[in-house]
Amino acid sequence: MLKVRIIPCLDVKDGRVVKGVKFLDLRDAGDPVEAARAYDAAGADELCFLDITASHEDRGILLDVVSRTAAECFMPLTVGGGVRSVADIRRLLLAGADKVSINTAAVNDRGFVREAAAKFGDQCIVVAIDAKRVSGEGEPDRWEIFTHGGRKPTGLDAIAFAREVVSLGAGELLVTSMDRDGTRSGYDLALVRAISDAVPVPVVASGGVGNLDDLVAGVREGRASAVLAASIFHFGEHTIGAAKRHMAAAGIPVRITP
Amino acid sequence: MSVAIVDYGSGNLNSAAKAFERAAREAGATGPITVTSDPDLVRRADRIVLPGVGAFADCRRGLDAVAGMTDAIREGAIDRGRPFLGICVGMQLMATRGLEHETTAGFDWIRGDVRAVQPSDPSLKIPHMGWNTLHPQQDHALLDGLELGPDGQHAYFVHSYALQAEDMDDVVACASYGGAVTALVARDNLAGTQFHPEKSQALGLRLITNFLHWSP
């Protein structure tokens, strides 16, 4: 039976984990490779690196991080942040990424999704959808795509955008609620569910996890195929193992590793 | 023992190479593990590994674009009988035909077609992406020491098409995803996994170790 994936996400800037990973007695809490190794050992089902390096010139540092991680962690690795060209994708895949997540570039040029999927296969093209609820009280739910960390509206309807990028070849969608991100108040379950029901590909729920019940709700109510979280794992509140046991107890199929 | 991992421009071979190096160290196997696009190295290798990601037709075209490579693989695996392992689309290429987007000839080592995965439950997502258990259909040296069945270890899958073998004797293990999905095929010295052993942590490393020890 296919299991629901739990994916810790590490924000990486200039080759360092932003805010650090404060658990598991890492010698260097800011080293993404060491954090990756720890999550690998802890039974994470996949890892996600989100590069928030400001300048394009520093991208070589990320490639080195990806390459050193892939040399030690025999598990799937998704890398996103600042991916704008076929050459960017090729470099990440050659460094050892299995999937590449595209965000702003997909909003700006839908043809890029088609080109990337045709070149590298649907299975390695993830489109990251950052959405905010724009419907008012009492109106039918509506979400809009935002870029620039949720600051810039695009006028694009999130559900229609999701359908479109999947028709162009996106093999997975990473759906982040910009209303919930960082709030610890749980995923925007209506958003995750609306997108998951609209597309045939797997959807990863992201943004807002505050406790382990949020992970359960992401799957049960959001119908996500995978759940992504950052701070609840990085700061040692919950281990990957505890998250899996909690989900298993709620009847969700997860991969329990020894 | 030399292992040639065939490089024909399909995806990342770095993690495959690293996983084989780790497994070889643990197996006490010596000899070079080489990622190569040189047909001569492939022809002479003691073990041949053919990875592949993307679409069947693209992989076939990519392989054929390397002058002499398809012949070298056949000479090594068929004429010289060297153990061969196909991974993901590399495994699918062992089939008679691929039907992804267009009809493309495979090696025809495992009779059957590569068709779209169509789960009986329409709510199941495609690609079949993530960790799934393996259900053995027969004994095989590549399964030695693996924990199989619904409570066993997991393998990492990511694919939308799967090999439907005509002869069930060629199918060593399946995964369950709204029906049986071919996970591991083998015939004589030829084997292939739909899942990615190089991404499947403990199960994957053990399977690679088994492949390095395999004397069909």
Contact B130 A2 (CB under 8 A): yes
Report whether pLDDT(B152) > 80. yes
Backbone φ and ψ for B202, nearest 5 degrees, come out as -60, -45
Backbone φ and ψ for B71, nearest 5 degrees, come out as -65, -40
- Give ipTM to 2 decimals: 0.93
Report whether pLDDT(B122) > 70. yes
Contact B14 A96 (CB under 8 A): yes
Sign of the torsion angle spanned by Cα atoms A28, A32, A33, A38:
positive
Q: Which CATH class is domain A5-249?
A: alpha beta
Q: Give SS3 for A71.
A: coil
What is chain A's pLDDT, residue by residue, as a tens digit (258 residues)? 999 999 999 989 888 888 656 655 566 678 899 999 999 999 999 999 999 876 666 778 899 999 999 988 889 999 999 899 999 998 998 888 999 999 999 999 999 999 999 888 899 999 999 999 999 989 999 999 998 878 889 999 999 999 999 999 999 999 999 999 988 999 999 999 999 999 999 999 999 999 999 999 999 999 999 999 988 998 888 999 999 999 999 999 999 987
Residues of A classed as catalytic? 11, 130
The reply to whether A72 touches chain B by the CB within 8 Å rule is yes
Nearest CB to A255 within list B22, B53, B131: B131
CA dist A216 and A212 (Å) reads 7
pTM of the model: 0.95
Per residue in B32-66, pLDDT (tens digit) is: 999 999 999 999 999 999 998 888 998 999 999 99
* DSSP string for B157-170: EEESEEEEESSGGG
Domain at B3-213: CATH architecture: 3-Layer(aba) Sandwich (3.40)
Residue of B nearest to A224 (CA): B125
Nearest CB to B150 within list A1, A122, A171: A1
pLDDT score, position B197: 96
Q: CB-side exposure of B3: number of CA atoms within 13 Å?
A: 25
The reply to whether A202 touches chain B by the CB within 8 Å rule is yes
Quote the tokens at residue B180. Answer: 């049986």
Put residue A20 in one of left, alpha, beta given phi > 0 → left and psi -120 to 50 → alpha: left
Distances (CA, A) of A148 to A49, A159, A219, A244, A247: 18, 19, 27, 33, 33
pLDDT score, position B68: 97
Per residue in B63-117, pLDDT (tens digit) is: 999 999 999 999 999 999 999 999 999 999 999 999 988 999 999 999 999 999 9
Q: B158 forms bridges with which residues in the sheet?
A: B129
Percent of chain B with pLDDT over 70: 99
